[in-house]
Structure 1
Amino acid sequence: MEMKRPHGVYLVVDPKRDWPELLRQLARALEGGLGLVQVWDHWTEGISRKQQLDFLGEVAARCGEYGVPVLMHEDWALALEAELQGVHFDEIPADLATIRTALGGKIIGVTVGNDPVKIKRAGELGADYISFCAVFPSSSVGSCEIVRPENIRAARTVTDVAIFVSGGIRPGNLSRLAGLDFDGVAVISGILDAADPAAAVNAYHLALQKLKP
């Protein structure tokens, strides 16, 4: 799969949800035009490695039909074993340069907040994108600090990697981010809890298009 600059609507999948329903929702979301899919490292207790690999294989098969990269959250060894396209870290690993070498050309993303040093360092150490958490309050990102708009704006002055925003984002509040330079949005419930995930993804695309000058 050819790796392009990450952009668009980025769906985070929680494997603690019911798998058959989750895979159905994912299939519908893919029809709406996802740019990336990440599987959260949030497994139900007792799930075996084989079961994890089987589930990741199901996710990868569906995403592969649309050419959508699949990233594993935190567990980069599992990402390699499952032959996924990358990994996302909540913090910059101390050995990120070594991990970058092990992952080769796979995608690496890092969650950042208001610290400009962390933003710059992520790009210097080989991250392909950064994701701001959280732009708006959200129950799924309760451990994240609220990111100030000026720090999202300033990020482009210290890094040229792709930038995603996440946390409580809905198509209706994206207009509050007008004037900021970012490549896409990362979403969980705004898509997976929607009655029609494909329509929800399309609504995010339309809202993103309205932000373009």
Structure 2
Amino acid sequence: MAAKRNISSGVYLVIDPSMEEGLLLKKLKAVLPEEIAAVQIWDNFHKGQNIQDLIEKICAICYLHNIPVLINNQWELLLNTSLDGVHFDVIPENYNEIKQTIKREFISGVTINNDLTVVKLAEMYQMDYLSFCSVFPSVTSNSCELVSFDTIKATRKLTSMPVFLAGGIRPDNIHQLKDLPFEGVAVVSGIMSSTDPAGAVKNYITQLKANKK
């Protein structure tokens, strides 16, 4: 069994599996030589889609660069695919049972907003990372409430777990995050909707590095 991959800092890329497959894989191949922390497959599959086949194609591309691949919510797919882990929108009440069912090490993360009790739960369950949503207003994160910057700052008093920020983040507003404790940003449309996804990633990375100076 391969060693557990780890999520690094930088750009956490969320991809939409309902995108035309050829275009999705082409764009994914274009961005992976860049500094990608992880790839998450949004659980937005269309009817009749060969989900396992698509997941294996995505994993094969990402693993050439040792980039972990996670599924959004549908943890059962870890039982019969090469996925590294799962990102939950909400921590399931039966999380410990899920761990026992999967029977192998896996990466797990959860979306949080202004309720820091979720941070304590994630710590208790020994999850791997947190993702705040939504930092700015966003079309793709319209189900998330806006997160207070004070809430994000308070996380460091509760955990040393890696923190990612999501929702409406663009290269031209990353500077507004300068005083916040975080390891990276989660991006959906800002990269995969671009005609130059590799260039878009480079732009995000450039601004993130500038932000840390």
CA contact (8 A) 2:30 2:198 kept: yes
Number of the residue aligned with 1:32 = 34
State yes or no: 1:74 paired with 2:107.
Answer: no
Deviation at 1:46, TM superposition (A): 2.6
Partner of 2:24: 22
Deviation at 1:116, TM superposition (A): 1.1
> Is the contact between residue 32 and residue 197 of structure 1 (CA under 8 Å) also seen in structure 2?
no
Deviates more, 1:119-128 or 1:104-113: 119-128
- Whether the 8 Å CA contact 1:133–1:165 is kept in 2: the answer is yes
TM-score, scaled to structure 1: 0.94
Contact between 2:113 and 2:132, CA under 8 Å: does it hold in 1?
Answer: yes
- Structure 1 distance, partners of 2:120, 2:180, is 17
Question: Superposed, which structure 2 residues align to 1:81-96 within 5 Å?
Answer: 81-96=80-95
Partner of 2:32, secondary structure, is: helix
Correspondence list, 1:1-213, <5 A = 1-47=3-49, 51-103=50-102, 104-213=104-213
What is the CA–CA distance in structure 1 between the aligned matches of 2:165 and 2:146, rounded to whole Å? 11
Does the CA contact (< 8 Å) of 2:116 and 2:151 recur in 1? Answer: yes
In structure 1, what residue type is equivalent to 2:10? G
Question: What's the RMSD between the two structures over aligned residues?
Answer: 1.3
Output the TM-score relative to the length of structure 2. Answer: 0.94
- Give CA deviations for 1:142-195 in whole Å, capped at 9, x if unaligned: 110000111011011111211000001111101001111111110011100112
Could you report, residue by residue, the CA deviation over 1:68-113 in whole angstroms, capped at 9, with x for unpaired residues?
A: 0000111111123112100000001101223234443210010000
What SS does structure 1 have at the residue aligned with 2:168? coil
Contact 2:5–2:66 (8 Å) recurs in 1: no
More helix by share: 1
Letter in 1 for 2:91: I
Deviation at 1:2, TM superposition (A): 4.2
Q: Shift of residue 5 of structure 1?
A: 4.5
Contact 2:4 2:84 in 1 (8 A): no
Deviations 1:24-83 (A, max 9, x none): 111111122211001111111232xxx111100110010011100000111111123112
What is the percent sequence identity of the aligned residues? 40
Maintained 8 Å contact 1:97/1:126: no
| Runs of 4 or more consecutive aligned structure 1 residues displaced over 6 Å after TM superposition | none
Structure 2: how far apart are the matches of 1:107 and 1:173?
29
- What are structure 2's unaligned runs of at least 5 residues? none
Q: Label 1:102 to 1:160 Cα distance change in 2 as closer, same or farther (>3 A).
A: farther
